[in-house]
């Protein structure tokens, strides 16, 4: 619209100037220089050159004014975008922090999952926009646990079947929370699908294969690795090697093969570069399920 408006102003100005030159130019030339000179061919050329020069000058002034106006508009838009980006980051941080404060046993879980998810996505060569969506989605992937009774989140023993079913409801709760915010679609997919598995054995919708967003498949792998290497109320951390063996065993079955390969490469480079390693404790074998 702005381009069309500018081009319209140029066309109108050119038409008015041309009409004025044609209608008034000949009479004025006769009076100023005499009819004999005004009739000469070189004088007509000179008049044309003057008209072109005046038109070019006018166009230059109009263009300079338009560029200044657009520059001011773009700066205002950039400032608005920056404020919105800051507001978005603060919103994500506040939501993630709220859950961490409520569930001290998983404090930092979302941040570590986000860091590993970003490292995996970058290893896979995803563009910046997708990586940003993965980071935000990972920071919020467990936000629905805010609706789960605190005693279940910090229960030192194994959950019963009914308790586990209740905890699984955190996915639906998370979807309801982020659904009220205009996040990119990938963020909503991560929150709603990070417990889905390629073979259809996941929840809540038992999605399979490509029905699961790549962003969610990335966070699913990072979630498993973080859950196994970190302490839980019912067990100590199992260590990096156990996590590596688990995702290798699930590669191409429950977990995306390409994502697992990228994660293994990140681990090989040094998982401590992504997030500080938890303290090591000896522990008997326990389930690896990231709830």
List residues with catalytic annotation.
145
**CA angle 50-54-60, nearest 5°?**
145
For residue 251, list its beta bridge partners.
255
Q: With beta carbons less than 8 A apart as the criterion, state whether 252 and 204 touch.
A: no
CA atoms within 13 Å, Cβ hemisphere of 115: 14
In the numeric block, which tokens belong to residue 96?
């993630």
11-42 in b/e burial notation, b at 16+ Cβ within 10 A? eeeeeeeeeebeeebeeebeeeeeeeebeeee
DSSP letter string over 163-212?
Answer: HHHHHHTHHHHHHHHHTTS---HHHHHHHHHTT--TTS--SSS---GGGS
For 10, 25, 44, 52, 247, the CA distances from 48, given in Å and listed in that order, are: 19, 10, 6, 6, 79
- CB proximity list for 242: less than 8 A, separation 6 or greater: 228, 229, 288
């Amino acid at each position: 619209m702005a381009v069309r408006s500018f081009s319209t102003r140029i066309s109108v100005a050119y038409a008015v100037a041309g009409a004025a030159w044609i209608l008034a130019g000949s009479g004025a030339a006769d009076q100023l220089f005499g009819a004999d000179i005004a009739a000469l061919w070189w004088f007509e050329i000179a008049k044309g050159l003057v008209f072109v020069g005046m038109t070019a000058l006018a166009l230059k002034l109009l263009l300079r004014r338009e560029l200044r106006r657009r520059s001011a508009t773009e700066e205002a838009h950039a400032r608005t975008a920056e404020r919105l980006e800051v507001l978005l980051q603060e919103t994500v941080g506040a939501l993630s922090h709220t859950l961490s404060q409520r569930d001290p046993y998983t404090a930092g879980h979302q941040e570590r999952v986000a860091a590993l998810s970003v490292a995996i996505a970058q290893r896979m060569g995803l563009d910046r926009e997708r990586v940003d969506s993965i980071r935000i989605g990972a920071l919020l992937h467990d936000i629905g646990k805010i609706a789960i009774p605190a005693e279940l989140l910090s229960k030192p023993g194994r959950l019963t079947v009914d308790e586990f079913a209740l905890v699984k409801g955190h996915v639906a709760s998370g979807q309801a929370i982020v659904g009220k915010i205009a996040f990119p679609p990938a963020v909503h997919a991560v929150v709603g699908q990070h417990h889905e598995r390629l073979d259809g054995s996941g929840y809540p919708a038992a999605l399979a294969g490509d029905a699961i967003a790549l962003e969610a498949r990335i966070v699913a792998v990072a979630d498993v690795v973080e859950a196994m290497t970190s302490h839980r109320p019912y067990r100590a951390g199992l260590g990096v090697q156990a996590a590596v063996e688990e995702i290798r065993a699930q590669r191409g079955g429950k977990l995306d093969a390409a994502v697992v390969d990228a994660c293994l490469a990140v681990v090989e480079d040094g998982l401590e570069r992504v997030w500080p390693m938890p303290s090591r404790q000896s522990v008997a074998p326990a389930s690896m399920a990231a709830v």
